[in-house]
Amino acid sequence: MDGNGRWAKQRGLPRIEGHRRGVETVRTMTFAARDLGVKMLTLYAFSVENRNRPEDEVGALMGLLEFYLRKELETFVRDRVRLRTIGRTGDLPAGVQRLLRDTVKATEKFDDYTLVLALNYGSRTEVQDAVGAYAAAVAAGSEPPGSPAWDRFQNYLYTADMPDPDLVIRTSGETRLSNFLLLQAAYAEWFFTPVFWPDFSREDLATAIADYHRRERRFGRTSEQVRPAGTP
Ligand code: IPE
Ligand code: MG
């Protein structure tokens, strides 16, 4: 979700206006993704590195997040959207943490569609947290010593019981990963678009998904292996 600031700047507006419009896109995309058959949508809303922005912008973003969660709780329950989070949410303001806890709890039974908010998220801190938890499990004797199998180790990531992303979309014309799901997106398909997040539309999402469907995912194998002769 990139480009809020530049969207605002282009219009001579303060950055926070871009973030406000960005929240509207979050609403639209939550349901657009579901309509297009997506089972899980993860939004990179706030990174560990975003904390280093000016204090007033971080404060405004936290305020927006609180406002958004307050408004959305009922919608999520009514429309059966399960909310989950990844990231060091324990460092977020207490009010935001409370709302997150309540919303996650109120929607935990829904299994058709999940919205994951990456908040205070960074892949490197995720690895640090996972290694710490894993080492503690080894010390406690609940994990064997030595190199863990990937399937065991990934249980210590924030995404423990979530599938890896199939498609990652980055808006605003930047072509970097910015510490997002680095391990989980090892075999994801990437889609880069110049559209700023506040302008990202249902049609843009449909275009990205259509593009995804035209790709051949080989996971290191050959084309012949994944598409044996005779299959379309
Ligand atoms: C993304 O928009 C929103 C957050 C990181 C919270 P930016 O704020 O990064 O917008 P640009 O990159 O300055 O345009
Ligand atoms: Mg940005």
- The pTM of the full predicted model, rounded to 2 decimals, is 0.97
Asked whether the beta carbons of 51 and 120 are under 8 A apart, the reply is yes
- For residue 81, what are its two tokens? 């959207």
Fold of 4-121+164-214: Undecaprenyl pyrophosphate synthetase (3.40.1180)
**Domain residue ranges of the chain, discontinuous segments joined by +:** 4-121+164-214
DSSP string, 49-83: GGGGS-HHHHHHHHHHHHHHHHHHHHHHHHTT-EE
pLDDT band at 228 (very low <50, low <70, confident <90, very high): confident
50 is an active site residue: yes
Asked whether the beta carbons of 126 and 52 are under 8 A apart, the reply is no
4 is an active site residue: no
Ligand closest to Cα of 64 equals: 1
Nearest CA to ligand 1 atom 1: 2
Cα separation, 178 vs 37, in Å, equals 27
Instruction: Tell me which H or E stretch contains 46.
Output: strand 40-47
Ligand 2 geometric centre to CA of 179 (Å): 13
Average of per-residue pLDDT across 11-32:
98
What percentage of the chain reaches a pLDDT higher than 90?
Answer: 98
Instruction: Tell me which H or E stretch contains 34.
Output: helix 15-35
Residue among 4, 53, 179 whose CB has most ligand 1 atoms within 8 A, to mutate: 4
Specify the DSSP class assigned to residue 107: T
Average of per-residue pLDDT across 72-77:
95
Average of per-residue pLDDT across 184-198:
98
